[in-house]
């Protein structure tokens, strides 16, 4: 099995909390060099300080994935600092869920910008680097919401399934052995994703499910690490990870 080493350079979006933070912390214990991006740089800096105290090599940047230039800067900074980029973990996401009848056009647009365009901007930024290196790995956090369609999550699931479609197309376009793609579909995880839900009753219900039976983010981080550490001729295309009690 391939090993994650200090020569393995991983960039992570949405790294200031939840799955992104857990992935950064786990990969740091494996020795990876990290480039962490998020909007909340105060939290990023606190995480980076913890990791550096354990001898991890970490770079942090302010990244809003709805801005293409931020993804370009994330990738360029990885190459400038470490000389390469091996893995891009596109983890940033928001969940402005609610019934379609509510007509939350602004919320829908925000999810499209972050959940879909953010992934596309990452692909556009990292692909030239991966092609130049002859190797690279796109890992993207999707969701079980796209596998089991439920009320109130139609547009959210739509953005996640759009990403799943994009990643499958990218996989089929990349069968020369250089580029790997992985979609991670978590179910309920104890994260701050509910904070973007405007409806207080719906937010409370989702929060309750997260707190009652949601997975610790470290479980998803382990799945991401598993996909990354495979030999380069092995591609883990899809991982679905959910609580055993989730419907």
At 135, list the tokens. Answer: 């190797």
Let me know if 156 is a catalytic residue.
Answer: yes
Of residues 82, 121, 138, 156, which has the active-site annotation?
156
Specify which residues 179 forms β-bridges with.
Answer: 136
3-state SS string for the chain: CCCCCCCCEEEEECCCCHHHHHHHHHHHHCCCEEEEEECCHHHHHHHHHHHHHCCCCEEEEECCCCCHHHHHHHHHHHHHHHCCCCEEEECCCCCCCCCHHHCCHHHHHHHHHHHHHHHHHHHHHHHHHHHHHCCEEEEEECCHHHCCCCCCCHHHHHHHHHHHHHHHHHHHHCCCCCEEEEEEEECCECCCHHHHCCCHHHHHHHHHHHHHHCECHHHHHHHHHHHHCCCCCCCCCEEEECCCCCC
At 59, list the tokens. Answer: 């770079």
Which residues are tagged catalytic? 156
């Amino acid at each position: 099995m391939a090993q994650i080493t200090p020569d393995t350079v991983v960039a992570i979006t949405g790294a200031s909390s939840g799955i992104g933070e857990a992935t950064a912390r786990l990969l740091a214990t494996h020795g990876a060099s990290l480039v962490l991006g998020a909007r909340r740089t105060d939290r990023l800096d606190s995480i980076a300080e913890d990791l550096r105290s354990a001898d991890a090599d970490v770079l942090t940047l302010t990244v809003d994935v709805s801005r293409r230039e931020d993804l370009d800067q994330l990738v360029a900074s990885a190459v400038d600092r470490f000389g390469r980029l091996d893995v891009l973990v596109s983890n940033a996401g928001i969940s402005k869920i609610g019934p379609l009848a509510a007509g939350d056009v602004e919320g829908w647009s925000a999810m499209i910008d972050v959940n879909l365009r953010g992934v596309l901007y990452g692909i556009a930024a990292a692909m030239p680097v991966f092609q130049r290196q002859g190797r690279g790995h796109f890992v993207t956090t999707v969701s079980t919401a796209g596998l089991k369609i439920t009320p109130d999550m139609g547009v959210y699931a739509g953005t996640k399934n759009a990403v799943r479609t994009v990643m499958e197309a990218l996989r089929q376009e990349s069968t020369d052995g250089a580029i790997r793609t992985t979609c991670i579909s978590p179910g309920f995880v104890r994260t701050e994703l509910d904070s973007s839900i405007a409806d207080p009753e719906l937010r409370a219900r989702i929060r309750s499910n997260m707190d009652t039976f949601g997975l610790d983010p470290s479980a998803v981080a382990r799945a991401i690490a598993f996909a990354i550490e495979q030999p380069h001729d092995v591609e883990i295309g899809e991982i679905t990870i959910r609580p055993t009690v989730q419907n």
